[in-house]
Amino acid sequence: MSEYMIFILGNPRSGTSLLRLMLTHHPEICIPPECGFIQWWHSKYGEWSERDSVNENKVEEFVTDLSTSRKIEDWELDYKNLKASILEQTPKSYAELCYLVVESYARQQDKDPKYLGDKNNYYLDHLPLIKSIYPKAKFIAIIRDGRDVACSYKGIKKLDTNSPYKPKLPTEISAIAKEWMANIEKVDSFFEKLPDSQKFWVRYEDLITSSEEELTKICEFLNLPYDAKMIQYYNTDIQQQKEPSSTLDWKKKTLRKPDASNAGNYLEELSEKEVQRFGKIALKQLERFDYA
């Protein structure tokens, strides 16, 4: 079970949602919209055991708490069926309990996939905990040119939306560069301790310009055959596999096919001084990922 969990990592505004949509359109993968319940409820339910799973009051308490998780309303879970599944399948650990929650979402999408997953940018601050829960999980990190990330951060500030989930991101170029660098370092530090079989880097720019090639590499990493449905994510008729309306205001590009013009926006949107300032702080990582 642990080896069949996928976690998508990345700096905000780096294409993590796009990658989630692409992967979850593979028939053997299901990654729900972001909801960090695995980390949020660990402090209360981390010692979950089979004894808890046969205690109807305990299961009811967990399901009730789960239903209050931030953004989980987008999953439209059938909590009555989830409770019944827990009582029937009696997960023996917190890892099995959370796996069953994600599996319940997958079943509502009429899927019985090999891999289940989670996508959360803020997991960058909780990677050791996630690995302690799922020690054999696979982690896919996506990187995007930090200067384009800066453009996206600035665009979010101007966005008019009623969503309570609008990201709160820095808009000063030096702060953005330092955050981008820090998040790369968090992934690097975590990946240093993982075998190659559990870690994978992908560049956003390659994903949108050579989608089939990059997705084929990811499928090989997961020991799955490539499936063309992954690059048809924007044509899906399955509403639940689209980006939910609560976050769509700043993720409208997930409704469109991959667009190479989304790379290099900083050349027009950032001033020369901003580009230079970003480069002065983050040149090492820009060069490392061929962005210099």
Bridge-based pairing of strands 199-203 and 115-119 is unpaired
Does residue 91 lie in a domain region? yes
Does residue 187 lie in a domain region? no
Does residue 49 lie in a domain region? yes
59 close to 98: Cβ distance less than 8 angstroms: no
* Cα dihedral 281, 284, 285, 286 sign: positive
Residue 80 backbone phi and psi in degrees, to 5: -65, -45
C-alpha pair distances (Å), 164 with each of 74, 160, 218, 249:
13, 12, 33, 11
**Boundaries of domain holding 108:** 2-145+197-261
pLDDT at 161: 80
* Cα dihedral 253, 259, 264, 269 sign: negative
Does residue 51 lie in a domain region? yes
pLDDT at 38: 97
CATH number of domain containing 256? 3.40.50.300
pLDDT at 168: 86
pLDDT at 236: 63
List per-block mean pLDDT (blocks of 10 residues) for the chain, which spans 292 residues.
87 93 96 94 98 97 97 94 97 97 94 94 95 97 96 84 81 96 97 97 96 97 96 71 68 77 90 96 95 86
Does residue 233 lie in a domain region? yes
The per-residue pLDDT of the chain, averaged, comes to 92
258 close to 208: Cβ distance less than 8 angstroms: yes
- What is the number of structural domains in the chain? 1
Does residue 152 lie in a domain region? no
- pTM for the model: 0.94
Predicted confidence (pLDDT) per residue in 135-157, tens digit: 999 999 999 999 999 999 998 87
